[in-house]
Structure 1
Amino acid sequence: MSHESSEQLSLFNQSGLTSSTPSDFQPELIPTDAKVPIPPGTYDSMESLADHCNGCQRCELAATRTHAVVGRGNVHAPIMIIGEAPGQNEDEQGLPFVGRAGQLLEKILAAVKLDSERDVYICNMNKCRPPGNRVPTPDEVAACKPYLLEQIRLVDPKIILLTGATAVKGLTGEKRGITKIRGTWMEWEGRLCMPIFHPAYLLRNPSREQGKPKWFMWQDIQAVRAKLNELQSENAV
């Protein structure tokens, strides 16, 4: 494990929040410099985190954004969906997954009776749109990742869905292709995660034939629904 990876994991360790926060910690400096860490417990609400994101200058994406896109949905949802970065529609509206890919995601969730306002919280690895919808650079991902770690801590989801390779690699460090690992449960920081195809990929591959991406997505989202039912039943006992 690289020093950077171990540092990120230690930052995410929620034990002993006081000791992990430097005595000279100045949270007001967080949005101005990617070298300023974001210790666990920095934010007491998604609103305070959003305030920092909206004024953030931690990477070059700040110069070209219209809005920082923090998240939408239930901040106490059992399922968290993490995408790559905002597109044009998201940048204009300040909300994630509101374009064609987002509309398809809504249909996929509804097909297994998951409500996007009740059952899920949706966000991205990066909060600002990369120019031309390019893939975020490693430096851009690293600058924004501490915000995401705080979002995960605040939401405390039972299940995390990672849509696409950028989200999988950015959060877990997993480098295998999405086609090899989609639909498989993995554990990260004690949380259940499943990599799934990004809805935008499904739009480019519309066939519903067996063995095609949309067919796999249907299998995966049913497995997610079944796992959530199982976890909720266990909690009810």
Structure 2
Amino acid sequence: MIQSEKLKQIKSLEIKANSCLSCQLAKTRTNVVFGSGSIDADIFFIGEGPGQEEDLQALPFVGRSGKLLTRLIEEELEIPRSDCYIANIVKCRPPANRNPLPQESAACTPFLIKQLEIVSPKVIITLGNVATQYMLETKEGITKLRGQFFQFSDFHIMPTFHPAAALRSGAVVVAQMRADFATAKHFVEKSRR
């Protein structure tokens, strides 16, 4: 798909998301946090849902977790954050930062699937248990799944920890995320050959 068509499709999808009333999260949101980044990204990050800062700014991963994610992208993938695409399972903030309910995730799934189809990344990196378990339809925990590749439709998914978990748990989890990002970078480089 040519870039102008991709841009037209992503803008149209964002307009639809901004007017979505398909679940109860629409009643409590400040903003729809659609996603951000390059529509030609090789790497597409998926988190669980926006937090308070994200809801206020209408951008994904802008708080402390976002700062760590940006640092890891720049240091391990050796690209600017703007070269990736970042979105969440749900586009509106769940109250009190709780996990999204199944019906909330289901309401947002068509938006996420269309974002993936438009961007068409080489690899999807799911961040944390919620995003990983949802995308892979599994109950298996992130500790067992991280750093491995799984097939999802025409896409390759590689789970890693959520940056918030790394901030809570410290250097060991950050090091594991660094290793996972390096694995993803190698996969992308190999797929270009």
TM-score range, shorter chain: over 0.9
Tell me what 1:128 maps to: 92
Query: Runs of 4 or more off by more than 4 Å in structure 1?
Result: none
Tell me what 2:124 maps to: 160
Q: Which structure carries more helix by proportion?
A: 2
Tell me what 2:26 maps to: 62
Deviation at 1:190, TM superposition (A): 2.5
**CA shift digits 1:66-110 (9 cap, x unpaired):** 000001110111110000000000000000000100000000011
Deviation at 1:225, TM superposition (A): 1.1
- Structural mapping, 1:70-219, within 5 Å: 70-112=34-76, 113-118=78-83, 120-206=84-170, 208=171, 212-219=172-179
Task: Give, in whole Å, the separation in 2 of the partners of 1:191 and 1:153.
Answer: 9
Q: Structure 1, unaligned stretches of length 5 or more?
A: 1-42
TM, length-normalised to structure 2: 0.93
Q: 2:181 aligns with which of 216, 221, 237?
A: 221
Task: Give, in whole Å, the separation in 2 of the partners of 1:190 and 1:153.
Answer: 9
> Counterpart of 1:70 in structure 2: which amino acid?
F
> How many residue pairs align between the two structures?
186
Contact 2:133 2:141 in 1 (8 A): no
> Counterpart of 1:214 in structure 2: which amino acid?
V
Aligned to 2:49, what secondary structure does the other structure show? Answer: coil
Task: Give, in whole Å, the separation in 2 of the partners of 1:47 and 1:173.
Answer: 29
Task: Give, in whole Å, the separation in 1 of the partners of 2:106 and 2:135.
Answer: 10
**CA shift digits 1:155-204 (9 cap, x unpaired):** 01110000011111222212200111111111111211100000010010
Deviation at 1:114, TM superposition (A): 2.2
Task: Give, in whole Å, the separation in 2 of the partners of 1:84 and 1:116.
Answer: 18
Contact 2:46 2:87 in 1 (8 A): yes
Task: Give, in whole Å, the separation in 2 of the partners of 1:75 and 1:84.
Answer: 20
> Counterpart of 1:125 in structure 2: which amino acid?
I
Question: Taking every aligned residue pair, what percent have the same amino acid on both sides?
Answer: 40
Task: Give, in whole Å, the separation in 2 of the partners of 1:174 and 1:156.
Answer: 23
> Counterpart of 1:126 in structure 2: which amino acid?
V
Task: Give, in whole Å, the separation in 2 of the partners of 1:229 and 1:127.
Answer: 30
Task: Give, in whole Å, the separation in 1 of the partners of 2:154 and 2:90.
Answer: 23
Q: Structure 2, unaligned stretches of length 5 or more?
A: 1-6
Task: Give, in whole Å, the separation in 2 of the partners of 1:57 and 1:184.
Answer: 36
Higher normalized contact order (CA 8 Å, seq sep 6+, divided by chain length): 2
